[in-house]
Amino acid sequence: MTSPLLPASESRRPVIITGLSGGGLSTAAKVFEDKGYFVSQNLPPQLILDLVEMSTADDSPVDHLAVVTDVRARMFNGSLMETIEAIEAKGLSPFILFLDARDEVLIRRFDSVRRTHPLQGNDTLKEGIERERKEIAPVRERADLIIDTTHLSVHDLRRSIEASVGDLSAPKQHVTVESFGFKHGTPRDADLVLDVRFLPNPFWIPELREFRGIDAPVADYVLSQPGAKAFVDNFLTMLKDMLKGYRHEGKDFITVGIGCTGGHHRSVAISEEIVRRLRESDDVDVNVLHRDLERN
């Protein structure tokens, strides 16, 4: 069996996958299933609690549980927040993964499969999405990790989940550094967004244009520019202080967005350097994503 997404020390921690309809819940469920989880989808709140209790029993055949639930569960008694609180009352800490996306993207996804939104009724699809956002806002606020799937393909979402959660370990905080291009929009799931467009753009140097920030010629060029290393030094000093505050507030998953114009050169090189430096610390689990590396 494939090794589980969560290590043995966290094997009894239930995972709740939720978010907006059309946000990629089925894809997320498949990721966890492929990693050896027992995955159950579309359970009403009370049955989620029952399943968690059964999976944590001493004689349970299930070591790793993930439950997918969305707004359709509202037809049953009890809310998802009440279920989360009931799980916590039993001494367990559910890991909440919330998938989000921009309205226009959700509308396009629903239109492509010719489905109606579960809260649409006789109104427009946009109104159904707005109702859902309002209804699940408390769960979003409670989430351990929010992933914005607006710009992610199915394969990108899989990589994002595995990068963000793949090395989950209770004693550590988890930092995902994500490079991006401002022309493609900022990542809405980022806790911090940094702009490195103050550095000279390698795109305008013909011999560097076809390389990317993961390639040595571009990385060396970017990091040799005045202010580049000082920027990294100052940010890491600030981040380490912020991580202490995040930990105090119970936030163990932090996403840092590093942006340049297209997401090919400067943001990638700076992200790689920040990740390299962060990995020197034993207190932080670090992953890197390059959202727009292959985009034109």
Residues 227-240: tens digit of each pLDDT:
999 999 999 999 99
39 labeled binding residue: no
Question: Is 220 labelled as part of a ligand binding site?
Answer: no
pTM of the model: 0.64
Q: Are 284 and 278 in contact (CB under 8 A)?
A: yes
Contact between residue 198 and residue 235 where contact means Cβ atoms under 8 Å apart: no
Specify the pLDDT at position 172.
Answer: 73
pLDDT of residue 116: 78
Instruction: Give the pLDDT score at 5.
Output: 44
Structure tokens at 78: 């009890």
pLDDT attached to residue 6: 42
Beta bridge partners of 98: 18, 146
71: annotated binding-site residue?
yes
The edge-to-edge listing of strands for the beta sheet with 65-68 is 38-41, 65-68, 15-19, 95-100, 145-148
The type of residue at 119 is: L
Position 2 scores a pLDDT of 33
Nearest to 155 by CA among 285, 18, 34, 3: 34
> pLDDT below 50 — which residues of the chain?
1-11, 168-170
pLDDT of residue 264: 97
pLDDT of res. 169? 43
Q: Is 103 annotated as a binding residue?
A: no
pLDDT of residue 76: 62
* 101 vs 21: CA distance, rounded Å: 9
Report the pLDDT value the prediction gives residue 78, as an integer from 0 to 100.
64
